[in-house]
Structure 1
Amino acid sequence: MSNETSNLVLIEARLDGRVALLTLNRPEATNAIDDSMALAIEAAVAHIKASPRVEAVLLTGAGRIFCSGGDVGVFKAALGSGDDGELARLLDRLATRIHGALEALVNAGPLLIAAVNGPATGAGLGFICACDFAYAKPSATLRPGFSKLGLSPDTGTTQFLPRIVGARKALEILIRGDAITPETATQLGIFNEVIDGDDAAFIDSVLERIKPLIASGRAASETRRLIRQTMSPGLHEQLAAEQASLVALASSSLVIGRLKKALGL
């Protein structure tokens, strides 16, 4: 990975010193995650793991949205297919891809920092919670989104959110599904700090905050590893449990009806 910007399908990747910058690069689709995006994340992580220089990964989104979660267009196509089982099959396939990308990112080794450039929904919230640190713009409202559609969370949300905000608060957030303002997210510990500024200034400010975090070199990654290994069950097992629950709910005619109404079908 060089100092030049390179496009890896739907992920823009570049190296800034010892920090790899990964940008979700589907602004026309609000950086929604589909099969191709998930595969691009895995490809970018493979490049990062091959570079011993990288001690931190900064994840952000192109445009005004960090990540709107799963691709609504794909959901609409499944719901409009006339086959009520297609949604569950789609979510099973998509969760397999997205969870694989998330595991690759989390298990790569370097510190993970979310630079939340705008609103995040569903899987976008999961990716933020999976990071070790998160800095956000004032526009970065969070929406769990799952329960509003009659679905349970995925992308490690049930693994990471309770460890950030506590089990009771996490349950309330995920069941109610209400929007969380950046100020509230900071108070809860989801965001480390809200930083104002345009796109370039925001990323520069986050990079400045990363430098002290990686100053200790390998000690930082070892401390991260020790803390993460206290999580039980492990991420792989929890992602599998999330996927099974999500697919089971998506097989319900009640949930299918709610989704069709929510998506205007």
Structure 2
Amino acid sequence: MKPPPFEYHAPESIEEALSLLAGVDGARVLAGGQSLLQLMKFRRAKPSTLVDINGVGELDAIEQRDGELRIGALVRQQRLLEDELVARSWQLLREATRFVGYAETRRRGTVGGSLAFAAPWAELCAATVALDATIDVRSANHGSRSIPARSFFRGPYETALEAGELITGVRFPARSRRSGASFHEVSARYRDYAQAAAAAVVDLDDAGECASAAVVLVGVARTPWLVDVTAMVPSLDGIGDGFEPEDDVEASAEYRRRVAPVLARRAVQEAFERARAA
């Protein structure tokens, strides 16, 4: 099938992109395009205008500033596997990204696009929530604002973004010296959508005891499911309580209910071991 007719614009600056998004009803952002274009082909999405931001170079940067890792919205997912800054202290991003499709997929897909699409199984959404990141957005009419990742995802394919807003980047806070992280996932086929996945982050105090521990599950709820497991360490009893998974073509709710706690436990235990070895 072919998509319905649409206008196409390719701005070269953030300001130009924001002006287009604010001035045209039904405009959508085009970055990697892998999800949006498929929806358009099947006419499940019918934007009047596509605003292609691939020419906005200022959105394509990875840098460290004031201890934070800052990743532009246009950064391709493959770069997360190759960048030295990411490898140094934010290894969870690399681990999660390894599960995102194939290299061809990751070379097109963008960090901002994955967050904006908000698929309930998305690995980068899990890692962003687990690392307590902040998502920066801008619009022509309302300026800039920063949204905690832990309140950004509102439902399947639904976020806190308002009409005319553009994700400009994501900020990840500095990691403590004694921290560890881990990511575990199961899927029906190699490189397929996650049936369930767990992203865990653990921080230790000076005595080597658990100061904080959190795990985020995706594929098992309508949004990334964050659980503070600090009080559960080391037994991790009750780590899978509370969420109500649903049946879909990837897996049954019962399967997810059984496998998610196992993944969560493995991720937290491995994160704890890595923190102790740091």
Regarding TM over 0.5, the answer is: no
Whose radius of gyration is greater, 1 or 2? 2
Answer 1 or 2: which has greater strand percent. 2
**Which has more helix, going by share of residues?**
1
